[in-house]
Amino acid sequence: MTEYDVVIIGAGAAGVFMSYEFTKLGRNIRVCMIDRGSPISERRCPIDGKKIRSCIHCRTCAIMNGFGGAGGMSDGKYNITNSFGGDLYEHTGRSEAIELMEYVDKVNLAMGGVDAKIYSTVDSDLKSEALRHDLHMLDAKVRHLGTDRNRTILQNIYDAVKDHVDIRFREEVQTVDKTADGFVVTTDNGTYACKQVAAAAGRSGSKWMSELCGKFGIETHSNRVDIGVRVELPAAVFEHITSKVYESKIVFRSKTYGDNVRTFCMNPCGEVVNENTNGIITVNGHSYADPKLHTENTNFALLVSNRFSEPFRDSNLYGESIARLSNMLGGGVMVQRFGDLTQGRRTNEHRLSQSFTVPTLKATPGDLSLVIPRRQLEDIIEMIYALDKIAPGTANYDTLLYGVEVKFYNSKVTVDEHLETSVKGLYALGDGSGVTHSLSQASASGVYVARLIAEQY
């Protein structure tokens, strides 16, 4: 049995920055980080770039697991704000949460992101223009690294920590047991004793995290699930917005149902991609720093938040059922022209071939009204018409809608101001804790807990 001071479970954003901070602090702390995925240099989806539309169910998903976690295969947007992306500030305080996110930003710049531009919605005249049409633009600073640069930065962080932190790839944690001296972490390849455990299992570890909390009697609270579509249109439609703020977080309250609909993950000159979450194929978007990889389209998500009360509490199961229906009907992701949707007809191969907006993802033409519940679909249609007022062309007939996009959130684990659970020495951080759900806040949580633990040595 190998002994450590700290075992980090998960090499996503929280785990990566926790290991980096331990390395930088230079204390004599023995740290092990365990992940069921691979190093960033070896993370490749076997169907990426091929004409296969459905998941082939690898033993470990390279999109969701490995060094960098799900964020390692994203377009690397770091939003520096307390307005969205999690509730870290409730534990650290608002000013310290921002300071932690700004520190993460500096690390990213030092590790290869020095040329990445930062954008801000603060003092933008776009906010007042949006308000005139009942659209609310949230304040944030956003650093866009790009999918390509993001991987380079993660590789540089890995190179910086690998000689100081024992990183165990391709190992899956099976049990965590409490002992008189700390904990014993058992994987499918070894057993590790430690004084403290940082559970940073990320989005893909939601079920594992729930089981861990159940085992120790740690209280959790159900979270929301977001259901929606990914919109793709000519980049010129949103250029006057993306050139100023890049990532515009816009919220609209639908007139019919009073639901909040929001934009998410805007990718100027980007591409639409598949995303695999535990074997369920949903849709996402990427954008790149290298101009040679730019496309003529911009894509972003429109999401409707769903929360449930008694007797149903499993919001993620609701999202999964809708995504599985899309997979069943379309063999994966479906695509429909906005004009076809509003006219009540299915998009087929012939109609899609007539679209002036050329899709960047090979998806199955279909009818999203057979998949997305009426309430959410009407919310989305309302917002598209609202966005058309500040970005004319959004509601064009040939605007493409890919479905479904689902954002799963882990149940929120009850933790104290140190992100420590009711079990002494067991911390819950990152998106796996439900406290954060963004790259910036998850990374900041890792830094925060590393500093707290380091004070004990």
pLDDT tens for each residue of the chain, 457 residues long: 899 999 999 999 999 999 999 999 998 999 999 999 999 999 988 766 555 556 677 878 887 899 999 888 888 999 999 999 999 999 999 999 999 999 999 999 999 999 898 888 766 688 889 999 999 998 888 999 998 999 999 999 999 999 999 999 999 999 999 999 999 999 999 999 999 999 999 988 888 998 999 999 999 987 688 999 999 999 999 999 998 888 888 999 999 999 999 999 999 999 999 887 767 888 999 998 889 999 999 999 999 988 877 777 778 788 889 989 999 998 889 999 999 999 999 999 999 999 999 999 999 999 999 999 999 999 999 999 999 999 999 999 999 999 999 887 778 999 999 999 999 999 999 999 999 989 999 999 999 999 999 999 8
Residue 49 φ/ψ, nearest 5 degrees: 85, 0
With CA atoms as reference, report the closest residue to 37 among 8, 76, 68. Answer: 68
Q: Are strands 77-80 and 173-178 parallel, antiparallel or unpaired?
A: unpaired
CB 350 within 8 A of CB 226: no
Query: Half-sphere exposure (CA, 13 Å, Cβ side) for 202?
Result: 28
How long, in residues, is the chain? Answer: 457
| 364 DSSP β-pair partners | 334
| Greatest alpha-carbon span in the chain | 68
Q: Tokens 């980007």 appear where?
A: 270
Ramachandran class of 352: left when φ > 0, alpha when ψ lies in -120 to 50, beta otherwise: alpha
The Cα 122–Cα 141 span in angstroms is 8
Q: Return the DSSP state at 98.
A: H
CA distance 67 to 12: 6
- pLDDT in the model for residue 51: 52
Exposure of 368 by Cβ count < 10 A (0-12 exposed, 13-18 middle, 19+ buried)?
A: buried
The whole-number pLDDT of residue 175 equals 96
- Whether the pTM exceeds 0.85: the reply is yes
Q: Which two tokens stand for residue 81?
A: 């704000």
Domains of the chain with bracketed CATH:
2-116+145-222+412-454 (3.50.50.60), 225-408 (no CATH)
DSSP 110: I
Question: Does the CA dihedral 35-146-84-368 come out positive or negative?
Answer: negative
Sorted by sequence, the CB contacts under 8 Å of residue 291 that are 6+ apart come out as none
C-alpha–C-alpha distance, residues 363 and 281, integer Å: 11
Closest CA to 191 of 27, 3, 320: 3
Cα gap 431→447, rounded to integer Å: 14
Beta-sheet strands, E only, within 44-129: 77-80, 118-120
Closest-CA residue to 70 (of 438, 441, 449, 413): 438
